């Protein structure tokens, strides 16, 4: 069985209400649920949350709710711990029904840059290559090359975030945007993982240990999980580029089609 698990909590700090913020007339968290529901692999959808609004939205997508314990509802709770808790609850449910979990589709309520096609690509990658632990959506952000990253020292001066020597001889390095080749980021839109990645979480590769060690790329662009309100226009641009229109417009078009058929 293929299972999808979306996680999202109430009371986000940096961007209050981000998971249910209206994007093109829909709550932000509805987009990963739509992608899971429309995927050809037909996953069974679960949602782990303590947020009443997210629960209501999840039920409209026929998702099963997983009550998140208080210890995992704070701003200090790690996503990997929430995913692990949700997975264990799902595993109990599925095994009690005499079935097994073959793949887990891990989704964030604040990551709307995902489509059914991207999810299906991830499942296909894992089915074709047993050596891969997971397949995750990736976006290329060459402007954020590690060579360009800086941090402030005790004198409030900018210094390399990672010592240049880590990348080789500093005399030969070029910090132009594309000089080091493409810089891939796991954009958090979706992680399709084998159950062993969650069963053996501590053996996974940092910083997202739920992905295991051998991580395949699902090529995307502009993917992100929303942490700040200024990201919303970018997400709307991405959604429009993937065929979404405003919910009110879609309803108007649907009504017009129904009206034209009736006359």
Domain boundaries, the chain: 2-138+185-262, 142-182
pLDDT in tens, 164-190: 898 888 888 887 777 778 999 999 999
Query: What is the mean predicted confidence (pLDDT) over 16-31?
Result: 97
Q: Is the pLDDT of residue 25 over 60?
A: yes
| pLDDT tier, 251 (very low <50, low <70, confident <90, very high otherwise) | low
pLDDT at 240: 98
CATH code that applies to domain 2-138+185-262: 3.90.550.10
pLDDT in tens, 109-155: 999 999 999 999 999 999 999 999 999 999 999 988 888 899 999 99
Question: Residue 160 is inside which H or E element, if any?
Answer: strand 158-160
pLDDT in tens, 62-81: 999 999 999 999 988 999 99
What are the angstrom distances between the C-alpha of 10 and each of 29, 107, 228?
A: 12, 16, 15
pLDDT at 12: 85
204, 173, 208, 166: which is closest to 191 by C-alpha? 208
pLDDT at 248: 81
**Best mean pLDDT range from 174-183, 186-195, 251-260:** 186-195
pLDDT at 245: 95
Query: Residue 143 — φ and ψ, nearest 5°?
Result: -70, -10
Number of other residues whose CB lies within 10 A of the CB of residue 234:
13
Q: Which is it for the CA torsion 96, 97, 100, 101, positive or negative?
A: negative
pLDDT at 250: 62
pLDDT in tens, 197-247: 999 999 999 999 999 999 999 999 999 999 999 999 999 999 999 999 999
Distance CA 96, CA 197 (A): 21
Q: 104 in helix, strand or coil? A: strand
Please state the length of the chain. Answer: 263
């Amino acid at each position: 069985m293929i299972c999808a698990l979306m996680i999202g909590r109430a009371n986000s700090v940096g961007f209050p209400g981000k998971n249910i913020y209206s994007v093109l007339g829909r709550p932000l968290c509805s987009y990963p649920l739509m992608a899971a529901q429309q995927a050809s692999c037909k996953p069974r959808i679960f949602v782990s949350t303590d947020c009443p609004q997210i629960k209501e939205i999840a039920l409209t997508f026929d998702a099963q709710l997983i009550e998140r314990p208080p210890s995992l509802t704070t701003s200090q709770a790690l996503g990997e711990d929430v995913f692990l808790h949700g997975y264990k609850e799902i595993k109990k449910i599925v095994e009690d029904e005499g079935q097994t979990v073959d793949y887990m589709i891990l989704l964030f309520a604040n990551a709307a840059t995902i489509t059914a096609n991207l999810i299906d690509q991830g499942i296909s990658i894992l089915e074709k290559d047993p050596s891969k632990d997971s397949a995750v959506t990736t976006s290329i952000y060459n402007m954020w090359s590690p060579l360009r990253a800086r941090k402030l020292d005790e004198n409030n001066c900018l210094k390399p975030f990672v010592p240049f020597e880590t990348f080789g001889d500093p005399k030969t390095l070029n910090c132009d945007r594309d000089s080091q080749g493409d810089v891939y980021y796991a954009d958090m839109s979706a992680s399709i993982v084998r159950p062993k990645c969650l069963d053996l979480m501590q053996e996974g590769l940092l910083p997202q240990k739920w992905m295991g060690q051998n991580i395949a790329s699902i090529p995307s662009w502009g993917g992100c999980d929303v942490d700040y309100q200024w990201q919303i226009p970018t997400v709307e641009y991405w959604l429009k580029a993937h065929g979404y229109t405003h919910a009110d417009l879609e309803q108007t078009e649907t009504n017009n089609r129904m009206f034209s058929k009736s006359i």
